[in-house]
Structure 1
């Protein structure tokens, strides 16, 4: 499972607008944003990595005027962390990723006076992005580049789901990347404060996952940001599966 998850990350980064290959690494660059959470690298699963490769990786990030940063499944590059820390990288976080397969998916009810749908216009996409930014502490403004990035996700075969109030407002949402080898990452699950603790996050996660499975995806995966998120995802049918590392250089 680890290798399938890691390979899906490699391919997704390769689909970015300006990807760069550096030895065993792929850097997924998007010139429309400077965010290190969009512009980061990952190693190909099982590839041998040397200190010289890490030096070349850092140089490629600097040439792109981006902060050197990686995310990866640790078992797929067990010796990489030592090379990175020796080069001056610092661990940001270690996360357990969770997976769901069709046989474990549960679909909780959508809270009253809310409905789940795919945002089909840029105004609805922008509303969802503003909710996500609010939930994750980002810029509350949804830029044209943000909207275009979400539209590309949909056009590429990814999933986007918004929770809409009876008045047409956005209460939450989330999405998933286009599948790679029948594997897809679910991310960006967000709910506005007035609608929390009503089961909406679970309903959104389940709907995104259901849509993936309906389109032929075999494995959906995600990461939980804390104990509360972990409980949300476990209720939907996600189970712990492996470890990922977030590491960056200033």
Structure 2
């Protein structure tokens, strides 16, 4: 299986791990009744599966039945004709991203940072602290809901990784995590640093620590996406390299 197919299959596995996944023809919709976020409730095709106009119509119907907005994320080479079918059905491209991958032999671990400890949250208050820091870093409400905490606890219980960066005074400065591995592959996501702790190498340290923890449990390939040039440079310094393209596309 080539890299694109491995990454796409890991997305399929991630969505099947949602609390209420729905399989519709060649698609898997990962739905979570506790949130309407389109970044959690979305669909993806199984790699290499044939897709028809009827399949797309059935997918939209399934989204409507679940009370969610139709949306997909996928590696484009694994479904080369899908974009045309989706745009023909009224979907609009949100963005296109290059994904990056890292293997054990390319991971680079930066020097430890003074006054910062990196560790996995083991209690719900710690999980809430991590999620609050991520929300604030991404411009959202810095208060974690019970559903947010339960979602992270469930991810960790399924084999996923979570890392929080805590200062000497007990403040969570940022953190990140990774999905439960599937087929030796895991997605790293949510790398976040609160504004006042940026430009100190913390994002790179968190990325490397999450990735190392994955490799320590036998993961062969870690992958992620960069949101801009700054994060791209951070990930490349940690040993990540560009590998393929993904599409984000949705409908009202």
TM range, smaller chain: over 0.9
Structure 1 partner of 2:48:
46
Residue of structure 2 in register with 1:104 after alignment: 106
State whether structure 2 residue 244 is matched by structure 1 residue 242. yes
Distance in 1, Cα, partners of 2:216 & 2:8:
23
Is 1:119 matched up with 2:126?
no
SS at match of 2:33: coil
TM-score, length-scaled by structure 2: 0.98
Q: In the TM superposition, what is the alpha-carbon distance from 1:139 to its structure 2 partner?
A: 2.7
Pairwise CA distance, 1:111: 2.0
Paired position in structure 1 for 2:22? 20
3-state SS, counterpart of residue 105 of structure 2: coil
Q: Please name the residue that 2:171 is paired with.
A: 169
SS at match of 1:233: helix
- Output the TM-score relative to the length of structure 1: 0.99
> What's the counterpart of residue 58 of structure 2?
56
- Give the deviation of 1:138 after TM superposition: 2.5
- Residue 32 of structure 2: aligned partner: 30
SS in 2 for 1:83: helix
Q: Specify every segment of 5 or more residues in structure 2 that has no aligned partner in the other structure, as ranges.
A: none
Residue number in structure 1 paired with 2:82? 80
Aligned CA RMSD, in angstroms, stands at: 0.6
Say which is worse superposed, 144-153 or 103-112, in terms of deviation: 103-112
Which stretches in structure 1 are left out of the alignment for 5+ residues?
none
State the secondary structure of the residue aligned to 1:91.
strand
Matches within 5 A, 1:67-216: 67-216=69-218
4+ runs deviating over 3 angstroms = none
- Counterpart-to-counterpart distance in 1, 2:170 and 2:119: 11
Question: Match of 2:162, SS?
Answer: strand
